[in-house]
Structure 1
Amino acid sequence: CLTATSLLRYARALARAFGPATAGWYILFQATQFHIPFYATRTLPNTFALLLTTEAARAFLPVAADAATWRKRTTKGIYLLVAAGVIFRAEIALLLATQVGYLLLTRRTTLRTVILAGLPAAILSIGISVAVDSAFWLRPVWPELESFIFNVYNGASSEWGVSPWHTYFSSSLPKLLLNPLAIPLIATALYLPATARNAGALVIPQLAFVALYSAQPHKEARFVIYAIPPLTAAAALGASYVWTRRARGVFYRLGSLVLLGGVGVSFLASMGMLFVSALNYPGGEALWMLHQRMNWEEIDVVRVHMDVLSCMTGVSKFQEEQPTKPLWGAGDGSLLIPTAQRTGIEWHYDKTEDEATLRDPAFWEQFDFALMADPSRALGNWKVTEVVWGFAGGLEVLKPGECMMYGRESVASEVLKLAWDYGDVRIATEFLGNYEIFKDAMRRSVTGGWWVGPKMEHKIHIMKRMPPGWTMP
């Protein structure tokens, strides 16, 4: 909701700066992208930073204004970028540098204005970050400074993976923009005399930021997502130029049809990516299934271990059923946080990763359940009660009558056959998951047995610890 609000505010500002046609195309392009709506649903620092950088981009739009008004807009934009960099993501310091550098080079601001805006913003933002984060971490800390020291000064970001220097330009930006016409439209807006100046103000600071940040070995698309609203606006400038001239000749009419087709392609691609992305969170689905199962169990305390893959694929603190805990400053328990438990069960969650600990059989005796990618790593007597499927990568093509999965006859075929024969798909849903049920139903009633879709495989096993002496039947 917050991200959508900031993007709509940016669109309204584009309408005032460049006209309603540009704003309309911006909304079409932005709404049919996949990644910004996707990240908007995630509680990442980048997502919160995007709110501030989009508001800053709104303040920096090249609109006609008197000197005093423009100075206020520039001051606001600098304040927002400083706050975003200090509190949420340190790399925004580069975006601040490129944006301020562009304004100084084009003589749209002065060094005095930059200093008078940036210095108090930095002091205030550091104070807020240190005060709030130190309270949470229970030690004096400025997280983004520690992040900068670890990732940049110590060069430790390479531990998370290394990508070629051109990755952001050759892969990340095209994927984030998604529309196949976005980059040609940006180039068009930069080339045409009628739009070149405004497009340059949108594009140059963002591409300079991406170029500088490309020096960092570890790269992820979310690190440069702040550049997408201004770049999308530049593409909208190019689209608006063609669209508003569609009555002037065949060339512009055909161009307008191509623009609409590009939006359609982008929308379909976004929906496909949304469908596949929903299959990438088996860990979160497994924990949800375990919570649902416990609604019907007569048990007071549940202890569950969650392995690395579970935690990487959807398990989060927001899912946890938290027991009642004292508030800060109430160590005697006199002030309690109300619980949101549906069943009154006391849950204990464990995310131990230490290999030596995980190899100790005594460690596993404390748990009732485990969410495991590899069932053999749970030591002791354990039973797999459910299996959660996830995206295996690539496509699966099935012909009519073919019930083969990855080259082997699958138990899934027999489970589905029994489910449909008896008219009860609940057991199949528990064993296979909703996706496999949907796939089978589509093959039976719509596609005549054919299926082309994402490959799926067992990802997370929900395991229950059994009594001593229990053996697999």
Structure 2
Amino acid sequence: MNHWDFFLFMVMVTYIFMCPYTKVEESFNLQATHDILIYGVKDISKYDHFEFPGVVPRTFIGSLILAGMVYPFKNVLYFLSNGVSQEKYDIIFGNIYKYIHKYVPNFPKTIDPEIFQNKFILQYATRIALALLVVYSFSRLRKSVEKTWSKEAGNFMILLTAVQFYIPFWGSRTLPNTFALVFVNFALSYWILKTTRKKTNNRENRIYEKTRSYLVIFILTFTAVVFRIEIVLVAMPIFFLEIKNKKITWVRLIVVGLISTLISVAITVGIDSYFWGKLLWPEGSVFQFNVINNGSVAYGTSPWYSYLTVHIPKMCTIAIPFALYAFYEKPRIRRLLTPVIYYVLVYSFLPHKETRFIFYVVPLINIAGAVGLFYIHSSSVFSVTKKLVYYITILLIAANLIVSGLMAYISSFNYPGGYALKAMNKLESPDKEIKLHIGVFSAQTGASRFGQIHDKWIYDKDESLQTRQQFIDKGYQYALVLQPSFHDSKQWEIDTSIDALLGVTLTKDYKKLIENIKACVTEIDIKKCIPFKIHKNKKVYIIKRKPETPINSEE
């Protein structure tokens, strides 16, 4: 990894800390990673998916990878909380405090080892681990771009990716699409790579080309079979281009493809059948639900042109004009973008559309944009023109990064369930025996198992409760609810309310905007530079059982 890869990683980590919570789309893999880390792989009876399986089953392979990466860190946390005494922390932090308190007045004189017992630290670690995988896959892609075009083009590709919003923001979120993106990037890194060996031995070069083609076939097949079946639409044009360019024959493609499919099915069926407790190919079930049964239509539909006119422009932003220039000027870029064109056109026929469904085309568009940007910079004849292009590019990149940061800031208000659970954990002592009900909306907007940090508390997500009396009979002292009016005010009272994003309006008073910008500069108050107003409303309520209300201790 070079410094540009590190820049991409730091942007992703910044977004993780800005928006640490997750939504329902990420829930399965996040909860599965938690369960593997906390309960291990032998005692699966406590796993979340047995109680909340979701609409379609998902694979555990991505969660196993993340848990394997985070497990050593979990052991470090255990050592820091149990293996180091309070006296040692007092000595260590006391000595550090002597030297730096003048420069960092708020630096603590000591810390409580119990802070390392907070499970939510592992949620940060899980997302950072996934971000590392994504960045590493882009780093591999960058190296291939460097060998195929130039070092500058590779760095431009990473820079364009880093300043965009969607990949840095969603690249640490445990979607099946994110895991698929990692493997697709690996495959693309082999596919776009020219033969860099000297052509002194033709047989050696042929072996190298075939091996590279086999890796592309296996990785894309594995990704389609295990994570996202739509990767087939990315793979098909790549395979045809490999045949057209005589990198592989039809026979070898079919043989390698079948072997790769059998191996991939065996891996996912073997692993996932164990965790689900029945014979299962998860992605096969997803394909049946989404494509054969067209079940995804229930989640909304969009016009066929939405990917072209809405999703790709907002994902790739400033990379698009540079990519179009490269597409027009460079035949190799037209070959590179063939899978993008094919994938988007075919996938547009499915009525249900989401941005995450086309993650995999972003790296190719960014590569094309990076190559276009490189050729524009390197081919400017007049120095004045070159400087003008250079400064315009810098302004576009800076503006894109600022807009992406603002989008991340706005998005941070979309997770009221996570903030509600965090607030709830502070309301009562962890040593008390508290029974809390987490409503569906809260569970879908950030209240994950990683946030259930108190061992003596019972965190219940029972979705079958329909009446007030059922809440009474279950013996809850607290509940995270969407509509407090549903509960009898004689029995319950509102303790805390959590705001969520309602909408955003641009500032139309330009004089006031200019005054705010001046105040932003003079007072160093970044919030005053924001040219819009964020509207929020109360969304999640923490309600508390009144003391005079008897609590039924029976489960």
Listed as ranges, the matches of 1:402-417 within 5 Å are: none
Query: What amino acid does structure 2 have at the position aligned with 1:359?
Result: T
Query: Which residue is 1:153 aligned to?
Result: 292
Please state whether the residue corresponding to 2:435 is helix, strand or coil: strand
1:349 aligns with 2:481: no
Report deviation, 1:81.
0.8
Question: Which of 533, 544, 553 pairs up with 1:453?
Answer: 533
2:432 is equivalent to residue 299 of structure 1? yes
* CA offsets 1:357-382 (integer angstroms, 9 cap, x no match): 32352244322221112112345721
- Partners of 2:528 and 2:148 lie apart in 1 by 54
Q: Pairwise mapping of residues 265-344 of structure 1 onto structure 2 (< 5 A)?
A: 265-294=399-428, 296=429, 298-300=431-433, 302-321=434-453, 341=454, 344=455
TM-superposed deviation, 1:448: 12
Following the alignment from structure 1 to structure 2, what is the Cα–Cα distance between the partners of residues 51 and 134? 24
Report the counterpart of residue 503 of structure 2 in structure 1: 393
**1:428 corresponds to:** none
Asked if the contact 1:280/1:313 (under 8 Å) is kept, the reply is yes
Partner of 1:411: none
**Contact kept? 2:414, 2:501, Cα under 8 Å:** yes
2:301 to 162, 166, 182: 162
Whether 2:478 is the aligned partner of 1:369: answer yes
Query: Could you tell me how far apart the structure 2 residues matched to 1:299 and 1:444 are?
Result: 45
Q: Is the 8 A contact 1:396 1:455 kept in 2?
A: no
Q: Deviations over 1:20-53 (max 9, x none)?
A: 1111211210111111111122111111111100
Q: What is the rounded CA distance, in whole Å, between the counterparts of 1:384 and 1:178 in structure 2?
A: 44
CA separation of 1:449 and 1:91: change in aligned 2, threshold 3 A: closer
Report the AA paired with residue 453 of structure 1: K
- Is 1:72 the counterpart of 2:207 in the alignment? no
- Give me the identity figure in percent: 28
Aligned to 1:60: 191
Structure 1 residue 468 displacement after superposition? 4.6
Residue number in structure 2 paired with 1:190: 327
* Structure 2 counterpart of 1:187, one-letter code: L
Q: Gapped runs of 5+ residues in structure 2? A: 1-131, 197-204, 513-519, 551-555
Give the equivalent residue in structure 2 for 1:51: 182
Q: Please state if 1:227 is matched with 2:386.
A: no
Tell me the equivalent position of 1:406: none
User: Contact 1:364–1:379 at 8 Å: present in 2 too?
Assistant: no
Distance 1:453 1:87 in 2: 43
Could you tell me how far 1:299 is from its partner in structure 2? Answer: 1.3
Residue type of the alignment partner of 2:461: D
Q: Compute the displacement of 1:240 (Å).
A: 0.2
Partners of 1:398 and 1:447 in 2: CA distance = 19
Q: Deviation of residue 297 (structure 1)?
A: 5.6
Measure the CA separation in 2 of the matches of 1:237 and 1:114: 30
More helix by share: 2
Residue identity in the other structure for 1:176:
M
Alignment equivalent of 2:546, drawn from 453, 457, 466:
466
Shift in Å, 1:397: 5.7
User: What are the equivalent positions in structure 2 for 1:424-463 lying under 5 Å apart?
Assistant: 446=525, 452-463=532-543
The aligned counterpart of 2:341 is 207
Structure 1 distance, partners of 2:206, 2:227, is 31
Q: What CA RMSD, in Å, does the superposition of the two structures yield over aligned residues? A: 2.7
Note if contact 1:98-1:208 (Cα within 8 Å) is conserved in structure 2. yes
Which ranges in structure 1 are unaligned for 5 or more consecutive residues?
322-340, 403-440
CA distance in 2 between partners of 1:74 and 1:378 (Å): 62
- In the other structure, the counterpart of 1:414 is none
Q: Distance in 1 between matches of 2:304 and 2:546?
A: 52
CA contact (8 A) 2:430 2:457 kept: no
- What CA distance in whole angstroms lies between the structure 1 residues aligned with 2:381 and 2:420? 56
2:143 maps to: 12
Post-superposition CA distance 1:116-143 (Å, at most 9, x none): 3211111111111111111121111111
Greater length-normalized contact order (CA 8 Å, ≥ 6 residues apart): 2
Q: Secondary structure at the match of 2:414?
A: coil
Aligned residue pairs, count: 399
Q: CA–CA distance in 1 between the matches of 2:522 and 2:456?
A: 41
Determine the structure 1 residue equivalent to 2:155. Answer: 24
CA distance in 2, matches of 1:443, 1:278: 27
Compared with structure 1, are the counterparts of its residues 443 and 457 closer, same or farther at alpha carbon in structure 2 (3 Å cutoff)?
farther
Tell whether the 8 Å contact from 1:386 to 1:463 is kept in structure 2 after alignment: yes
Instruction: Pick closer, same or farther for the CA change 1:88–1:450 going to 2, 3 Å.
Output: closer
Q: Distance in 2 between matches of 1:442 and 1:309?
A: 40
